[in-house]
Amino acid sequence: MVDTGACYESKRIRVTVNGVTYERDVDVRLLLSDFIRQELGLTGTHVGCEEGVCGACSVILDGKLVRSCLMFAVQADGCQITTVEGIAQGPDNLHPIQEALIENHGVQCGFCTPGVVVSMYSFLKENPEPSEEEIREALAGNICRCTGYAGIVRAVKSASRKAR
């Protein structure tokens, strides 16, 4: 057997995700996106490009929108994380952004949708009355290959009106 010299170091981390605290031993090289999906089973966080471009892996970490594919899980030690699973009150009580995406046909294949929901949730908290230009600018970090964005933009506008 070839000795590759690989050294797997693990570290115990503690994170609170959607209000639930988890402690896990993780490989120090494990990406936060893989930790959320594989260790915690929260597969609503999608992984597309794995290089910070598509926005599908967006989560909120200590109040800031981040791309979980660009962080190691160990960097989230001690942090509060909200994933898309933490946005709605429940399956029968969706967040206004989620309802608006449905009503405005802002979802097709749905791959980008969790990232859009998390990003726009964070954006509307910072800017509750955005112009269309500001919405389009905020959506620039979320790539959608299906909808052409018109429905998503309408949905964000509609959700911002409802939240007022």
**Cβ at position 2, least distance to ligand FES in Å:** 32
Q: Binding to ligand FES by residue 108, rule CB under 6 A?
A: yes
Identified binder of ligand FES from the candidate list 54, 101, 120, 138, rule CB under 6 A? 54
60: contact with ligand FES by CB under 6 A: no
DSSP reduced 3-state for 89: coil
CA angle 68, 71, 72 (to 5 degrees): 115
Q: For residue 74, which of 25, 37, 41 has the smallest C-alpha distance?
A: 25
145 forms part of the interface with ligand FES (CB under 6 A): yes
10, 12, 78, 113, 160 from 119: Cα distances, Å: 31, 29, 22, 10, 13
How wide is the angle at C-alpha 121 spanned by C-alphas 163 and 153, nearest 5°? 80
> Using the rule CB under 6 A, which residue among 22, 29, 53, 140 binds ligand FES?
53
Three-state DSSP at 16 gives strand
**Using the rule CB under 6 A, is 57 a contact of ligand FES?**
yes
The span of 3-11, 77-85, 101-109, 123-131 binding ligand FES (CB under 6 A) equals 101-109
In the list 32, 69, 124, 156, the residue contacting ligand FES (rule: CB under 6 A) is: 69
Tally helices (H) and strands (E) across the chain.
Answer: 5, 5
Residue 75 in the binding site for ligand FES (CB under 6 A): no
- What does the alpha-carbon distance between residue 70 and residue 152 come to, in Å, rounded to a whole number? 25
Q: Is 74 in the site for ligand FES (CB under 6 A)?
A: no
What is the binding site for ligand FES (CB under 6 A)? 47-50, 52-57, 67, 69, 107-113, 144-147
